[in-house]
Amino acid sequence: MTSDISNFSDLGLSEPILQAIKAIGYEQPSPIQAAAIPALLAGEDILGTAQTGTGKTAAFALPLLSRLDPKQTKPQILVLAPTRELAIQVAEAFQSYAQGLKGFHVLPIYGGQEMSGQLRQLRRGVQVVVGTPGRVMDHINRGSLDLSELKSLVLDEADEMLRMGFIDDVEWILERIPEQRQTALFSATMPAPIRKVANRYMRDPREIKIVSNTSTGDNIEQVYWMVSGTNKLDALTRILEVESFDGMIIFVRTKTATVELAEKLEARGYSTSALNGDMNQALRERTVERLKSGKLDIVIATDVAARGLDVDRVSHVLNYDIPYDSEAYVHRIGRTGRAGRSGKAILFVAPRERRLLHVIEKATRQPILPMELPTGEAVTAHRIDNFKAQIDKVFAEQVDLTFYHELLASYSHANDLYPEDIAAALAYLVQKERPLQVKFAPLKPAKEHQRAERTERTGKGKKFQNDDDMQRYRIAVGRTHKVKPGDIVGALANEAGIASRHIGHIKLFDDFSTVDLPKTLAKETLRQLKTLRVRNQVLDIRMDEGPGGESFAPRRKNDKKFDRKPKKAGKAAAKK
């Protein structure tokens, strides 16, 4: 069904959205996009099973934006996401796709962010709200989020919301929004509780299942560089200086970027060419043939242009722009390590793209190790080796140097100079446009990012503040609620915005737990933690007073802030 769809223009999207797609540089819809977009444009509910990183944000954002009324300032689209990072990412995607819609506003809402700013923007009017379940519940209870005009609901990464204990919160929200709405649910897996939610709250959903090929070869070394301390072009140049590569493909996201980067590398002396969908077939074939024959060393390509590219001499793939699609990553790095040879794949990751890195690792089930940029000393050593190799080549080829010996002897005698001094001057003249000695600014920021990243990813070497800087708190959730330390860390980090490195020791008891948090925690954050939920339990956080202190009292019967009984849409707001 979807194999015949090769262009976004075939999907029925509105003209402003197609123009945005063209400006962004997307070339061809992914399988989930080709399947989901027509169904959502037709107003159907969909139940999509697809791995994170298969392009599903565009799969729901593009069609829903095509049906949006920019003149209506009440929320028409609500997206629920399990984490603040994903909420921000999805909101940014909506903003990018809606660049041609006048008066369009999207608002990400999540814990750890000032409530006053969110309230102000909601009063101003937004068409799309992207939020974590806890903060969406807060706004519904306040009456600040009016969903009476809601047309579409998206549940993104539903299985992740289930894992983090948010599924009851999701159902609470579903009970309080208009029944006449379109619903799209996306999940990497479809466990029974997710299927139950779909059966209860969706109307005859169309099921879409995308099976991703996410296996990578063991013969491909995979590393990443956290973009920091220098710009990407300078970093790329350093890598090209010291990496012993035969042929290389550098992947970027857009057609425009292929041309721009190719021109910049050509100016730096590299044999480079662009490869994109705008090139005619004959030119593309000629470019590939030049790469095969060794007349070209580097190709800058988009995913579509490099599809099916099979050149044995490609020893390296460099992802200048990280792909949004984990399957695209697999296809990219599969261009190296051909015919049983070993290959190397390098990935550039901006700090705000860390989540995409984790997605790729999770999908491929392989770690991608951090790398450090070559230092000035390393580049200098490599240039000196190349310079010596050029000299060695002259002697190896037994070139007749008689004329040059006589010339230098004459010059040495006339100017009373040693031959070594003359040789040094000649070496300087040969290399002054590309000095052998290279000095770069220290890359401390990059190393610090990598060290923090390793700590965050492995948990090794994690250090918390001194005990004097921490305060022990008690929270009303424990073993009887089937809570795990990871649930508590996840809720504090994703809903309250407390960095994991600032969360200290956690100890579980039957009916409560204790957690060490910084003494400098803001009062607003503590107020928010009071109503934060873990495993469907309100944390009701308070300072720990030790064994003799006050224990947690059960919730009062008249505490109805999070009454879970179903209410009709708008009823909570009306009571406010």
* 455 in any annotated domain: no
* 426 in any annotated domain: yes
Instruction: Per-residue pLDDT tens, the chain, 576 aa: give them.
Output: 444 667 888 899 999 999 998 887 777 888 889 999 999 999 999 999 876 656 788 999 999 999 999 999 999 999 999 888 788 889 988 998 999 999 999 999 988 777 888 999 999 999 999 999 999 999 999 999 999 999 999 999 898 888 888 889 999 999 999 999 999 999 888 889 999 999 999 999 999 988 765 556 678 899 999 987 678 998 998 899 888 899 999 999 888 889 999 999 998 889 999 998 788 878 888 998 999 999 999 999 988 777 667 788 999 999 999 987 777 888 888 888 876 678 999 999 988 788 888 888 887 888 899 998 888 888 888 888 888 888 898 889 898 999 999 998 999 989 999 988 998 899 888 888 777 877 776 554 444 444 444 443 333 434 444 456 788 899 999 888 888 887 788 778 776 677 766 788 888 888 889 998 888 777 777 887 888 888 778 888 988 876 544 433 333 334 344 443 444 444 444 443
Task: Note whether 208 and 234 are same-domain residues.
Answer: no
Task: Note whether 366 and 381 are same-domain residues.
Answer: no
How far apart CA 470 and CA 505 sit, in angstroms, is 10
Q: Quick check: 516 and 472 in contact, CB under 8 A?
A: yes
Task: Note whether 118 and 166 are same-domain residues.
Answer: yes
Task: Note whether 268 and 191 are same-domain residues.
Answer: no
Task: Note whether 385 and 352 are same-domain residues.
Answer: no
Strand order of the β-sheet with 314-319 is 272-275, 298-301, 247-251, 314-319, 343-349, 220-226, 369-370
Per residue in 204-232, is it b (16+ CB within 10 Å) or e — as a string? ebbebebebebebbeebbbebbbbbbbee
pLDDT, residue 574, reads 41
- DSSP E strands: which ranges in 229-341? 247-251, 272-275, 298-301, 314-319
How far apart CA 278 and CA 351 sit, in angstroms, is 31
* 360 in any annotated domain: yes
Task: Note whether 205 and 230 are same-domain residues.
Answer: no
pLDDT, residue 121, reads 92
pLDDT, residue 78, reads 98
How far apart CA 11 and CA 547 sit, in angstroms, is 64
Question: For residue 50, what are its two tokens?
Answer: 């697809």
Provide the phi-psi class of 93: left if phi over 0, else alpha when psi is between -120 and 50, else beta: alpha
CA 43 vs. chain centroid, Å, equals: 29
Residue 298's nearest CA partner among 278, 273, 335 is: 273
Distance separating the N- and C-terminal Cα atoms of the chain: 49
Task: Note whether 46 and 67 are same-domain residues.
Answer: yes
Task: Note whether 243 and 254 are same-domain residues.
Answer: yes
Q: How many domains is the chain partitioned into structurally?
A: 4
Task: Note whether 414 and 355 are same-domain residues.
Answer: no
pLDDT, residue 95, reads 92
* 445 in any annotated domain: no
Q: In sequence order, what are the beta bridge partners of 252?
A: none
Alpha carbon separation from 105 to 145, 490, 570 (Å, rounded)? 15, 29, 22
Alpha carbon separation from 514 to 71, 473, 518, 540, 555 (Å, rounded)? 49, 5, 13, 12, 18
- Looking at 374, 394, 414, which one is the last position of a domain? 374
* 444 in any annotated domain: no
Per residue in 115-133, is it b (16+ CB within 10 Å) or e — as a string? beebeebbeeebbbbbbbb
* 476 in any annotated domain: yes
Q: Quick check: 150 and 91 in contact, CB under 8 A?
A: no
pLDDT, residue 4, reads 60
Q: How many CB atoms lie within 10 A of CB 4?
A: 7
User: Residue 216 has what DSSP assignment?
Assistant: -
Task: Note whether 65 and 51 are same-domain residues.
Answer: yes
Task: Note whether 127 and 260 are same-domain residues.
Answer: no
How far apart CA 416 and CA 14 sit, in angstroms, is 80
CATH number for the domain including 539?
Answer: 3.30.70.330
Q: Quick check: 314 and 247 in contact, CB under 8 A?
A: yes
What's 319-370 look like in SS3? ECCCCCCHHHHHHHHCCCCHHHCCEEEEEEECHHHHHHHHHHHHHHCCCCEE
Where in the sequence is the domain holding 402, given as residue range(s)? 377-431
- Between strands 542-543 and 470-475, the pairing is antiparallel
Task: Note whether 60 and 105 are same-domain residues.
Answer: yes
CATH number for the domain including 273?
Answer: 3.40.50.300
* 574 in any annotated domain: no
What number of CA atoms fall less than 13 Å from residue 487's CA on the CB side? Answer: 24
* 402 in any annotated domain: yes
- Looking at 212, 229, 263, which one is the last position of a domain? 212
In the numeric block, the tokens 């000035």 are attached to 376
